[in-house]
Amino acid sequence: MGQADFTYDFRSMNLLQQDPSQLLDNSDFVSQSILAMDADWAAQRLGEIRTLMERSSLYRRALAPTATLTGIIGMAAGVIGWTLPVKTSSGFCLYWMVTGILSLLVSILMIRRQAWKDNERFWSPPTRRFIQAICPALFAGACLGVIGTLHPQVSESYLWNLPALWMMFYGCALFSAGFFMPRGIKLFGSIYVLCGCISMFHFTTEALNQTLPRIVHAHIVMGSSFGILHFFYGVYLYLTDHH
Amino acid sequence: MKTETFSQINKVIHEKGRMAIMSTLAANPEMSFKELKESLGMTDGNVSVHIRTLQQAGYVIVSKTFVNNRPHTSYRMTDQGLQAFNEYIDLLEEIVRLNRDNQ
């Protein structure tokens, strides 16, 4: 785009002093040409803005497929864990940590592929900020999982609180990432924190009443929270993508 | 769309460099001087001059802090800036739409 494109003054256009609704009726060949020229320029400028915003943000176009696929992995893991069944405490922790790592790897690969397709850098400043924002909370969540894996003798109530705590930590990670990402990530994170709090309250009450369900049902809690929420967030992103 | 709005394109945002900064800040709530410079491939002087103009217009807030005993400057778009940027985009879209209707 040449320099002239950026110095164009709309006030110099006589046709713009008129009501745009009457523009077509009153216009002659010249005014229509000017309008067409400026429409080209405006479309180009809109394209530039879109490209700049997409490049500087964290591969928003990859968010919808990533969230949807993570949701599918989560739901599948919930059903598999429940049917197999993975019922020891260390097995439960290990199983869900492996699922989490698998989801993370799939997400990174998809985002990397999107960056490669768009001829953009993967390790860009927004990506760096995003990773820095999610790391502390994810690390804390991972530590809880490692404790559960290494100590098979942990109580049942610890295991039942684990999904709730993971939801809270994951929600906090997403909320932090929301400072660098648009499109409702903060709200998505808040929903996780809220779900975590509700689960914690519910399962603590159940533990106190000694009415906790068998540990195998915790897979359903994990699958429905991490699977279904991600899946619906991905669908929401698909539906609102044109914005 | 009113004729007055149509004829008054925002000259502050209209400049190519400032439009690039505004677009980047619209997508990222906060960016440091270095990040902005790297993302846009602009020189230090260019970023400073354009940021000053945007700051004077009330579109950008500049925060100066110290990180590891080093000065750290970060930029954020204000609500006024976001509104102006949205209006600028609306205007461009209106021009495109008007032309499409005429064809």
Q: Select from A49, A58, A176, A242 the residue whose CB has the most chain B CBs within 10 Å, as the one to mutate to test that interface.
A: A49
CA angle A135, A140, A143 (to 5 degrees): 120
**How much of chain B, in percent, has pLDDT values that exceed 70?**
91
Q: How many angstroms away from the CA of A82 is the closest CA of chain B?
A: 41
Mean pLDDT of B36-49: 87
pTM above 0.80, yes or no: no
What does DSSP say about strands B31-32 and B60-67: parallel, antiparallel, or unpaired? unpaired
pLDDT at A187 over 50: yes
A68 near A238, Cβ under 8 Å? yes
Q: How many angstroms away from the CA of A3 is the closest CA of chain B?
A: 9
How far is Cα A16 from Cα A10, in angstroms, rounded to an integer?
7
**What CATH code would you report for B3-96?**
1.10.10.10
Q: What is the pLDDT of residue A22?
A: 42
Is A42 touching B (CB cutoff 8 A)? yes
Contact flag A36-B30 (C-beta cutoff 8 Å) = no
- Return the number of other C-beta atoms located less than 10 Å from residue A157's C-beta: 15
Cβ contacts of A73 within 8 Å, gap of 6 or more: A99, A102, A103, A106, A227
Q: Is the peptide bond before A136 cis (omega within 30 degrees of 0)?
A: no
Closest residue in A to B35 (Cα) is: A125
Instruction: Name the residue with tokens 């906090």.
Output: A172
Contact flag B95-A11 (C-beta cutoff 8 Å) = no
Residues of A in contact with B19 (CB under 8 A): 45, 48-49
Amino acid at the residue A93: C
The domain segmentation of chain B, as residue ranges, is 3-96
- pLDDT tens column, A99-150: 999 999 998 898 888 778 766 677 777 777 788 889 999 999 999 999 988 8
Contact flag B95-A23 (C-beta cutoff 8 Å) = no
Is A35 touching B (CB cutoff 8 A)? yes
Q: What is the pLDDT of residue A4?
A: 35
